A and B are shown apart, each in its own frame.
Chain A
Amino acid sequence: DGGITQSPKYLFRKEGQNVTLSCEQNLNHDAMYWYRQDPGQGLRLIYYSQIVNDFQKGDIAEGYSVSREKKESFPLTVTSAQKNPTAFYLCASRLAGGITDTQYFGPGTRLTVL
């Protein structure tokens, strides 16, 4: 929230196409995260990055890829290998070494694959 932007808010793609979701933060946070939210499923971690040029797989990384070339940006690519890509995607960031582990979420992107 506040300082994290995701675009677009709604995204439609045809099956078989790769699509990249944008996530930008100006909070000077070190760590960034991508979650997927499905109805009744809560949030599941896709990928996370603690520092620039480094990222780790989360619980459901298959069919997704990320990059972290800049501290401010952590784009997520949903590839055609992702079997069920329609979902609400949330990006979050956290200040590493802070007093709390609070994660700040962006407004999310709703992806619909037709």
Chain B
Amino acid sequence: GQQVMQIPQYQHVQEGEDFTTYCNSSTTLSNIQWYKQRPGGHPVFLIQLVKSGEVKKQKRLTFQFGEAKKNSSLHITATQTTDVGTYFCAGLLRGGADGLTFGKGTHLIIQP
């Protein structure tokens, strides 16, 4: 069935190193969203990408949406301990009312 795949599942980095998580869909997405979930918390919306090839930046975070609208990435430059958490991508596969289809998330672990 339709699904959203996300890799890697876990990523250990040293503080200050860069981090990237990748998201791939089996079908074309209307848009893609990224969420961050801190340990013990709930997902919090980061950003939505809609246009083919779109790139958006939020301080040290860079989000990209592929030309075919089937893949996306989140890149964090010079990670900090506050970046710890799980990053989820979520795609709108069947229309907005159905709810998002989430990837399994990438757990970012930062070693000081």
Q: Which residues of A contact B (CB under 8 A)?
A: 1, 31, 33, 35, 40-45, 48, 50, 56, 58, 90, 94, 96, 100-108
Contact = CB atoms under 8 A, between A and B. Distances in A.
Interface residues of B, number: 23
A94 B99 CA distance: 9
A16 B83 CA distance: 40
A52 to B, nearest CB: 14
B20 interface: no
Given A31-B97, A42-B6, 13 more contacts: A1-B44, A31-B96, A40-B9, A45-B99, A90-B42, A101-B100, A102-B45, A103-B99, A103-B100, A105-B43, A105-B44, A106-B42, A107-B42
A42 B42 contact: no
A102 B33 CA distance: 8
B48 interface: yes
Contacts of A33: 99
A102 B45 CA distance: 7
Nearest to A38: B104
Nearest to B96: A101
